[in-house]
Amino acid sequence: MPLTPNFQNYRALLERGRWFSLLPEARREQLLEQALLQKLPAGATVFRRGDPNAGLYCVIDGAVRIGTIGAGSREALLSVLGPSQWFGEIAFLDGGARTHDADAKVALTLLLVPRAALERLLAEDPSWWRHLGQLLAEKVRALFASIEDMSMLPAPARVARRLLAMARGHGMMAPGAEQRMVSLNQDQLGAMLSLSRQTVSEILRDFEARGLVKRHYGAIELLDRSTLEAEGESL
């Protein structure tokens, strides 16, 4: 259904995202004029690796798993995206297929700007290419930071930095819009960091005993960000 009936409610949420909040006002209006809402139940597929590009998405409510299934049904989890985070720009920019699977981790509400609508915006105003390039650049920065962490930091520091990165939307949240609750479990966190469930469990148990985090069903609450920051800097 169209976005228009609840426009102001969604607008406030979308402006918590760094990319959308930095768009010129006219560009925000153009994007939202083309937007549709999609509602999906938990476990539903948003798209599969290899699917054609249907457009640009933003999470309104819920969480999206980004990853793929490898040999032996082993899951490679790359990220979990929450409200106000955009995704799907890669296939649009290069004209290729979807690079990974995207699934509803829980019941999900998405904003979708269809491919045809984006193409019209680009045809009318080529500056949209730069805006979409900035969205992709946010993801590349987060990817480089993740690769560096994986190769250089001990396991506790990697866990601390990944929790903080997810709370900040991997750099995609506007200043002051960080999340207190990170929507993922120990298995998923281990998969993202190439750590065993046992290792992640031991680290989180230590963090919890020190008052840095609190574990919930399917989520981790960040209680002491400053100490987590210090933990993430330890070598």
- The pair of three-digit structure tokens given for residue 197, joined into one six-digit string: 């469930």
88 Ramachandran zone, left/alpha/beta (phi>0; psi -120 to 50): left
Number of domains observed in the structure of the chain: 2
pLDDT single digits (tens) 4-62 = 445 567 888 899 899 999 999 999 989 998 999 999 999 999 999 999 999 999 999 99
Q: Are residues 24 and 9 in the same domain?
A: yes
The predicted structure's pLDDT at residue 5? 47
Q: How far is CA 156 from CA 55, 110, 168, 180, 199, in A?
A: 37, 33, 19, 19, 9
Residues 138 and 223 grouped into a single domain: no
| 222 and 164 Cβ atoms separated by less than 8 Å | yes
List the domain range (segments joined by +) for residue 29.
1-152
Both 127 and 190 in a single domain?
no
| Domain identity same for 117 and 5 | yes
**Range list of H helices, 78-184:** 89-94, 115-124, 127-152, 155-167
- In this structure, the answer to whether residues 145 and 62 fall within a common structural domain is yes
Yes or no: say if 136 and 76 are a contact pair by the CB < 8 Å rule: no
Given 99, 126, 152, which residue is the final one in a domain? 152
Is the per-residue pLDDT at 1 higher than 60?
no
CA 110 to chain centre: 13
User: Do the strands 213-216 and 55-61 form a parallel or antiparallel pair, or are they unpaired?
Assistant: unpaired
Whole-structure pTM value: 0.82
Same domain, 179 and 132: no
Query: Which two structure tokens, joined as six digits, stand for 125?
Result: 């105003």
Domain end among 152, 177, 207: 152
**Residue 234: pLDDT band with limits 50, 70, 90:** low
Integer angstrom CA distances of residue 187 from 3, 84, 104, 218: 35, 24, 17, 10
The residue that leads in pLDDT, 92 or 69, is 92
**How does pLDDT run across 105-164, given as a tens digit for each residue?**
889 999 999 999 999 999 999 999 999 999 999 888 888 888 887 778 899 999 999 999
Domain boundary residue among 152, 176, 211?
152
Spatial separation of the C-alpha atoms in residues 140 and 150, rounded to whole Å: 15
**Do 136 and 169 share a domain, yes or no?**
no
Q: Do both 124 and 210 map to the same domain?
A: no
Shared domain for 59 and 90, answered yes or no, is yes
Supply the pLDDT for residue 235: 54
Q: Which residue has the tokens 């298995």?
A: 187
Residues 141 and 159 in one domain: no
Q: Is the pLDDT of residue 77 over 90?
A: no
Helix (H, G, I), strand (E, B) or coil at 194: coil
pLDDT for 178 equals 79
Question: What is the per-residue pLDDT for 168?
Answer: 84
- Integer Cα distance of 86 and 110 in angstroms: 10
